[in-house]
């Protein structure tokens, strides 16, 4: 079974608008961490934001915020005020406490920002 599901292969957003990228996950481990990475066409994976399963508040990092709904097992990334440089592939990932250093990635969402 897929541990991380990203159901949007591609998304378009107008510049300066907000966009939500969906991510659902599946785990029976009570302790886990969720990560979002951005991968521009150049190839480098850039860490954006982290949410721990025990964190009481939704994570925020600048224009990035994470809408964490634990009961629904979803961890959607919200990008506010989109910029042209936000055009990239976005991956949701999870690390379970029982999984040592292993991180499982979703299939990704390609975001294109339109001027």
Partner 1 sequence: DTEVTQTPKHLVMGMTNKKSLKCEQHMGHRAMYWYKQKAKKPPELMFVYSYEKLSINESVPSRFSPECPNSSLLNLHLHALQPEDSALYLCASSRMKTGLHGDEQFFGPGTRLTVL
Spatial distance between the Cα atoms of 103 and 109, rounded to a whole number of angstroms: 18
Asked if 19 and 87 count as a contact pair (C-beta separation under 8 A), the reply is no
Binding status of residue 85 toward partner 1 by CB under 8 A:
no
Token pair, residue 23, equals 């991510």
Binding status of residue 102 toward partner 1 by CB under 8 A:
yes
- Dihedral over Cα of 63, 91, 47, 50: its sign: positive
For partner 1, the binding residue among 13, 87, 88, 106 (CB under 8 A) is 106
With respect to partner 1, which residue has the nearer C-beta, 14 or 97? Answer: 97
- From the list 17-25, 68-76, 80-88, 95-103, the region that binds partner 1 by CB under 8 A is 95-103
Kindly tell me the burial class for residue 14, based on how many C-beta atoms sit within 10 Å of its own C-beta (0-12, 13-18, 19 or more): exposed
Instruction: Name the minimum Å distance from CB 16 to partner 1.
Output: 28
Binding status of residue 42 toward partner 1 by CB under 8 A:
yes
Nearest partner of 88 among 48, 32, 34, 35, judged by Cα: 48
Binding status of residue 45 toward partner 1 by CB under 8 A:
yes
Binding status of residue 68 toward partner 1 by CB under 8 A:
no
Residues that bind partner 1 in the complex, under the rule CB under 8 A? 31-33, 35, 37, 42-47, 50, 52-53, 55, 91, 95, 97, 100-103, 105-108
């Amino acid at each position: 079974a897929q541990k991380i599901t990203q159901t949007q292969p591609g998304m378009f957003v107008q510049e300066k608008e907000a966009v939500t990228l969906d991510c659902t996950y599946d785990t029976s481990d009570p302790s886990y961490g969720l990560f979002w990475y951005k991968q521009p066409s150049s190839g480098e994976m850039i860490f954006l934001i982290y949410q721990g399963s025990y964190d009481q508040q939704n994570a925020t990092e600048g224009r990035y915020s994470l809408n964490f709904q634990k009961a629904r097992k979803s961890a959607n990334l919200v990008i506010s005020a989109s910029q042209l440089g936000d055009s990239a592939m976005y991956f949701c990932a999870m690390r379970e406490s029982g999984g040592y250093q292993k991180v499982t990635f979703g299939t990704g969402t390609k975001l294109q920002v339109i001027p």
